[in-house]
Structure 1
Amino acid sequence: MGYPVLLASIKRMVSEMLKVSLIATVYNEASNIEKLLNSLREQTRRPDEIIIVDGGSQDGTPAIIKNWAETNPDLPLKLIIERGANISRGRNLAIAAASHEIIAATDAGVRLLPIWLEKLLQPFYISPNAVSCGFFRADPTADSAFEIAMGATVLPTARDIKPEKFLPSSRSVAFPRNAWEKIGGYPEWLDYCEDLIFDLGLLKAGYPFVWQPEAEVLFRPRSNLKAFYIQYYRYARGDGKADLFLKRHLLRYVIYLVAAPLIILMARRWKLFWLVLSFVGEGYVFKPHRRLILNEIQGWQKLALLKKIQALLLVPLIRLTGDVAKMIGYPVGVFWRVCKERKKIK
């Protein structure tokens, strides 16, 4: 037996010794839940059990999940339904019902690469207390200039990540169940940004984060500006509720409410104005444009020339929409937090 074959056999034996429960939450995901389930079936290392919590879907999602479980009996799947459960509550319910010590988390609306779970489990070969930080990238609809532009604008690529500072999304992460218990689980009082609070809790408790970029999920970006605005409004509201990223949000207000008006006032001196505007404007969209031009976003290369131009022009509009959504959502979250703290005092 050659060394590569022996090494593969050892890895397979170790992998089989690790028992992992995969959890996910769903709500009205009838249009895409089978995409997630089928990608779980295609894993090179399948989960030992799947636990899905449905927050009260009204579009037939539970029936689709039950039917899939019946036709795939080799993959044990438990469905829990609790109407009104938010994402944090759903994840906590799923983990509480899990049979195994390692918890792998993902979300509806994604497609897992076949090696996702295999790669996500690798840090546990060395340390049972690891937090395995998987990654995600844009999976836009083919020939959609908007979704391709959206992916380039809002989702980082692996080259943008600094592993020592990366906080994983709970659409691609694995951690010990005892870590979840130690920090009190996901924050059920928070409806968005809950995975950031969870990550910060794990960091504070001393669990080592291990960057696993090959543990990758494919995530479809929002398909229109309205859906994107709502998404980023909710994210910013969650930041405000959780008291996250104050400096980042304040900087955004300064740029739009102070710096931008000053640049406009420079319009009287046209040459200087256009020079400053060109410099600032390109800085505003540099990373998304770089991701597109360097073909780092799936689907870009196959776009026709006119659609490529459309995608490039959509980037500043998408960025502006996201910034406006954040500037409106953040103070709403802060107001909610202040009211909550006042009630505690009383």
Structure 2
Amino acid sequence: MTARHAAPRTPPTPRAHWVLLLLGMVLLLALLTLDGYAHHAIGTGTAARGAAGGGAPEQVTGGGPVIRTDGGATRSRRMPARTVALTFDDGPDPVWTPLILDALRRNGAHATFFVVGARVNEHPELVRRILAEGHELGVHTYTHVDLATVPAAQADLELSLTQSAIAGATGTRTALFRPPYSSQPDALDAAGWRVVRGAGADGYLTVLADQDTRDWSRPGVDAIVTAATPRSPGAGAVVLLHDAGGDRSQTVAALGRLLPALTGQGYRFITVSAGLGDPATPAQPAPEAAQVSGGALRVAQTIAGVLAGALSVFLTVAMVLSVLRLLVQVWCTRVHRRRISRAGREGSREPVWTPVSVIVPAYNESANIAATVRSLLDTTHPALEVVVVDDGSSDGTADIVEALNLPGVIVVRQNNAGKPAALNTGLRHARHDILVMVDGDTVFESSTITRLIQPFADPGVGAISGNTKVGNRRGILGRWQHLEYVIGFNLDRRMFDVAECMPTVPGAIGAFRREVLTDVGGVSDATLAEDTDLTMAVCRAGWRVVYVEDARAWTEAPATLGQLWRQRHRWCYGTLQAMWKHRRALVERGQAGKLGRRGIGYLVLFQLVLPLLAPAVDVYGLYGLVFGDPVQTGLVLGGLVALQLGTAAYALRLDRESFGPLWALPLQQVVYRQLMYLVVVQSVVTAVLGARLRWHRMHRTGEAGAALTARRP
């Protein structure tokens, strides 16, 4: 697809969507970061416990489990006699929290639940049930991080986010706080005491425990009951249990024995606040702003979780599809080569020596046109004419051809009307029934035309694609395009040949029967990808389209990123137009159905859907490298690059090309791949907005002809 002729100017495509795309990518990264933070994938901290500073005072380590440090004074309190404050950490959990609530309700008991903010956002209905049944809430951080190992700013954020989550779910706030990984007051070290004092400065009442059941280790029901029972008869206690973080079946079973046993001994089970009798301690209504921000946090975390899960699934699916695509390409390539080898050995058909007309549409191709025409005449085919259609060039293209004064060359001049019109003009002036279409920047090897037309020995073949090679491949951009042509275009064409669903015969090198072009009404100007449009029309008319790998044409690829962008944008947009124009092929039968369900289906999946989602996957990969497991992410990305290297090496071997450019392939992932994805995004936006593109002319240097000359012995 190399049409570059001029056409009337049209309104420029709106550019504001690039700002929206960038903002969307930033927002996606922010949401992924939130999801990673909420699920403890990032922000765990590295500081060691026991940092410098004084330890907890003796009045704390030897005092009660409820500690207040605000107002410059330190005070600790215990539960009253025969009063047990059951406390549950790490929830809410969708399995175990309801079972524990049921056990408490059956025994008329109340408890205090120290909740993790991220889990509050995941299960707000459970938090509301906790309050509705007379229990109370405490802050247990947002991600269950050890606050003694993180910076003070992150510690404050953990408490603030948890309060927001509680406010968003229940409309209340709490003054109770318990640090994760805490136990009894006598276990407080210097780092733990710093956390308690920091929370106290923010107005929190820290609740540790008199008795730690260690139920998280699942020591057995008997051991949990024993550990939860007050050590002194009639004494009060704050008991540490868990309603999340693993299998809590032993905890539930222990409550079934502990509650009725102690109730029978005259114990009451109440909340920490009720036991203290402090009117400032119970939950208070949260400000409306806090409730709104809490609700927004919950929505953001939910969306982030869905996106992270979806991207993880998509990345897996994309990898599987990429591997399957490679396996299918390799299998089809082997089948294609066996067919060619078998046909060569059997020699079942007579060689095709039918006269050929070569049509060369040209618009301002002065740099290449002489080399193009000379290469066409330097052919092993015995009967050939060349029709050069100058489509209103302003650089003397037609004059250059006429000055060559070569036999068998016809020059036709017309006002600028676009490449499809130039091809149709050439079709009217051509004398022969086999037509080869060549771009004005392309040069042929001497055997190309002869090899290209041989499949016409099969009367069912209506069109033939040759093998397009990049001539100007010296720079990094040229190497990237060379690899793209060899890997993507030509491996795909071998696959399309075997599957009988070729969607594109490239404008640089393609052969057609005249009756086929007459059958489809010539070359249409309804799309910007006239070669794809024409090929799809040929398939839908019931003709086979095949690929000849050793019919090589050397073309000049864009030399700058700007030229590449304009060319690929037009290609992609034109392909979208062609797919939409021929969408009925999806439900048609025969050759048209093969094109629709195989060819167009393949294009939709691998050239539209996956590239559209690829930027999000790149953000997900960046997130994984920075915030996730860099080793795992690096192995996945490295595996993809290794897969691409293997594919590239195989494709280069098939085309008898040097492996030298392979070093540029990993670098291709940094710039080139993203550019191609953005081309798809831009094309889809252009199509949705209803904007139209104009033809773009590419600056020529004549390197394609020079490259072929240098390769000849």
Match of 2:452 in 1: 120
Among candidates 76, 79, 82, match of residue 414 of structure 2: 82
Equivalent residue for 1:235?
A: 571
What is the deviation of 1:150?
2.2
2:687 alignment partner AA: G
Task: Please tell me whether residue 144 in structure 1 is matched to residue 501 in structure 2.
Answer: no
Whether the aligned pair in 2 keeps the contact of 1:115 and 1:215 (CA below 8 Å) is yes
User: Counterpart in 2 of 1:255?
Assistant: 614
Q: Which amino acid letter does the alignment assign opposite residue 213 of structure 1? A: E
Q: CA RMSD in A?
A: 3.1
Closer/same/farther in 2, CA of residues 239 and 302 from structure 1, 3 Å limit: closer
Kindly state the Cα deviation for residue 228 of structure 1 after the two structures are TM-superposed. 0.7
Query: In 2 relative to 1, CA 322–199 (structure 1 residues): closer, same or farther, beyond 3 Å?
Result: same
* Letter matched to residue 185 of structure 1: G
Question: What are the equivalent positions in structure 2 for 1:1-346 lying under 5 Å apart?
Answer: 11=351, 15=353, 18-68=354-404, 70=405, 72-73=406-407, 76-127=408-459, 130-141=462-473, 143-156=474-487, 158-160=490-492, 161-162=494-495, 163-164=497-498, 165-166=501-502, 167-190=504-527, 192-244=528-580, 245-247=603-605, 248-257=607-616, 259-266=617-624, 269-271=627-629, 273-276=630-633, 278-280=635-637, 283=640, 286-287=643-644, 290-291=647-648, 309=663, 312-314=666-668, 316-336=670-690
Whole-angstrom distance in 2 between the partners of 1:312 and 1:149: 10
CA distance in 2, matches of 1:292, 1:89: 40
| Alignment partners' CA distance in 1, 2:364 and 2:631 | 48
1:189: Cα distance to partner?
A: 2.5
Q: Secondary structure at the match of 1:316?
A: coil
- Retained in 2: the 8 A contact 1:103–1:176? yes
CA positional deviation for 1:181? 1.0
Distance 2:689 2:383 in 1: 42
Give the direction of change, closer, same or farther, for the CA distance of 1:94–1:104 in structure 2 (3 Å limit): same
Does the 8 Å CA contact 2:436/2:509 hold for their aligned counterparts? Answer: yes
In the TM superposition, residue 111 of structure 1 has moved relative to its aligned partner by 1.5
Matching residue's letter, 1:251 = L
Shift of 1:159: 4.7
Larger Rg: 2
5+ residue gaps in structure 2? 1-346, 581-602, 693-713
Q: Does the 8 Å contact 1:109/1:220 carry over to 2?
A: yes
Q: Distance in 1 between matches of 2:622 and 2:664?
A: 26
CA distance in 2, matches of 1:294, 1:196: 23
Change (3 A) 1:333 1:298: farther
Q: Answer whether contact 1:22 1:51 (CA < 8 A) is retained.
A: yes
Q: Please say if residues 460 and 543 of structure 2, whose CA atoms lie closer than 8 Å, have aligned partners that are also in contact.
A: no
Q: Could you tell me how far apart the structure 1 residues matched to 2:469 and 2:615 are?
A: 29
For the 8 Å contact 1:47–1:117, the answer to whether it is kept is no
SS in 2 for 1:169: coil
Q: C-alpha displacement at 1:275, in angstroms?
A: 2.6
SS at match of 2:670: helix
Q: 1:327 to 1:278 in 2, by over 3 A?
A: farther
Normalising by structure 1, we get a TM-score of 0.79
Distance in 2, matches of 1:289 and 1:57, equals 44
Range with bigger deviation, 289-298 or 155-164? 289-298
Percent identical pairs in the alignment equals 18
Residue type matched to 1:169 in 2?
A: P
Structure-1 separation of matches of 2:531 and 2:651: 31
Q: Which moved more, 1:225-234 or 1:327-336?
A: 327-336
149-158 or 165-174, larger mean C-alpha shift: 149-158
Task: Name the CA distance, whole Å, in 2 between partners of 1:93 and 1:287.
Answer: 42
- CA shift in 2, pair 1:153/1:170, >3 Å: closer
Amino acid at match of 1:321: L
Give the distance between the partners of 2:634 and 2:420, measured in 1 at CA: 43
Shift of 1:264: 4.0
Quote the Cα distance in structure 1 between the aligned partners of 2:508 and 2:383.
15
C-alpha distance in 2 between matches for 1:169 and 1:220: 14
